[in-house]
Amino acid sequence: MITEEIKTTIEKYDKIIVHRHANPDPDALGSQRAIALSLRKTFPNKTILMAGNSVGDLNWLSEMDNVTEEDYQGSLVIVVDTANTPRISGEDYDKGDFLIKIDHHPDNDQYGDLRYVLEHASSCSEIMFDLLQSWNFVIDEEVANAIYAGIVGDTGRFMYDSTSAHTFAIASHLMELKADLPRINQRLSEVTLQQAKLQSSVYDYLQIDDSGAAWAIITQADLQKLGVTTEQAHAVVSTPGRLKGVVSWVIAVEKQAPETGFRIHYRSKGPVINTLAMKHDGGGHMLASGANAADEQEVQTIVSELIEVVKNYK
């Protein structure tokens, strides 16, 4: 069985480096932290490192280790929650001896020597709980906190349809393990006053087509006016979904110089949008995806494609 093969591989290596995707969300950080902490506690003699770039405002959830190129010599690398290699955060991920992918996104890029991908899992953190439990590895309060944060993040607080009875069963286990639900729920839903202002101004920027497709373009000038960083702009991504009649939407956030173009966030209440994201250097889940647009013209193309898909769905 693949899960047993992964366990045996983990047992074999003295040095294990865990990666996740760039622009990390709570699930990327939660699943990375959960396996890293559990391995440290289960195998105190092994060296376990967490690799990747800035965690931004999520530094209350996790912090990265200082990982150098030499660390990869003779190591096992595990990449969590990352669909494709360009999205892996930490450029040396391929310098280890052996690579394992653990994920819940559509498996379009089958990288790694071993892969464990469950597309229907609510989150990578949910998969991580099941793996650690089946291997009898340590799941204590700290590990439970990381897993809970990941599940809450990727299910939108148990709201999205990827949430299953099993997701709730795991949440129940996590409560028994004394995961700090009030603190984590509060941290995950907290925004700064500036982010709250951006959230409300999105209703001004938002354009809504008769079909129920909606879109908003947020420029660097908009962000600067409100004192919101590009990373913090992510807080507005789910906002249009609260509106009656909005079926699927796109938020385009202008990238910060020296980068150019727009980061695209697709969300949907029904029509499948990851096929659209794939056309624009992106991908993700059927109802929540990300992509990139080189300029405003590509953003307009993205909007036209979205309208088309929503019209056909209706």
The closest residue (CB) to ligand AMP is: 290
Size of the site for ligand AMP (CB under 6 A): 16
CA distance linking residue 81 with residue 173, whole number of Å? 22
The residue among 257, 255, 258, 268 whose CA lies nearest residue 295 is 255
CA distance 253 to 299: 10
Rounded to the nearest whole angstrom, what is the least distance from the CB of residue 74 to ligand AMP in the complex?
30
Interaction between residue 83 and ligand AMP (CB under 6 A): yes
* Closest among 265, 306, 305, 307 to 282, alpha carbons compared: 265
Picking from 21, 84, 74, 95, the residue whose alpha carbon sits closest to that of residue 52 is 21
Helix 26-42 to helix 124-134 angle (10° resolution) is 20
End-to-end CA distance of the chain: 42
Q: Which of residues 194-223 bind ligand AMP (CB under 6 A)?
A: none
Amino acid sitting at position 301: T
Q: Does position 290 bind ligand AMP by CB under 6 A? A: yes
Q: How far is the CB of 32 from ligand AMP (least distance, A)?
A: 13
Q: Which member of 282, 302, 303, 307 binds ligand AMP (CB under 6 A)?
A: 282
> Least distance in Å: CB of 25 to ligand AMP?
6
> Judged by CB under 6 A, which stretch of 115-123, 204-212, 278-286, 293-301 contacts ligand AMP?
278-286
**Burial class of residue 41 (count of CB atoms within 10 Å of its CB; 0-12, 13-18, 19+):** middle
**Contact status: 145 vs ligand AMP (CB under 6 A):** no
| Nearest to 29, CA basis, from 138, 117, 149, 132 | 149
Of 271 and 284, CB closest to ligand AMP: 284
CA dihedral over 12, 15, 56, 189, signed as positive or negative: positive
Report DSSP letters for 61-84, one per residue. Answer: T-------GGGGTT-EEEEES-SS
Q: Is 284 in the site for ligand AMP (CB under 6 A)?
A: yes
Q: Which of 19, 20, 33, 87 binds ligand AMP (CB under 6 A)?
A: 87
Q: Which is nearer to ligand AMP, 87 or 101 (CB)?
A: 87
Cβ-based nearer residue to ligand AMP, 153 or 212: 153
Q: CB under 6 A: which stretch of 37-45, 52-60, 202-210, 279-287 binds ligand AMP?
A: 279-287
Which region, judged by CB under 6 A, interacts with ligand AMP, from 53-61, 141-149, 241-249, 289-297? 289-297
Min dist. Cβ of residue 280 to ligand AMP (A)? 8
171 scored as a contact of ligand AMP (CB under 6 A): no
291 binds ligand AMP (CB under 6 A): yes
x-marked contacts with ligand AMP along 230-269 as a string, rule CB under 6 A:
-------x---------------------------x----
Give backbone dihedrals phi and psi of 221, rounded to 5 degrees, phi first: -65, -40
CA–CA distances in Å: residue 116 to residues 76, 111, 267: 15, 11, 25
Query: 71 or 150, CB closer to ligand AMP?
Result: 150
**For the chain, where are the E strands, in sequence order?**
15-19, 47-50, 76-80, 98-103, 114-117, 207-208, 213-218, 248-254, 262-268, 283-284, 288-293
Residues near ligand AMP (CB under 6 A) are 21, 23, 25, 83-84, 87, 237, 265, 282-285, 288-291
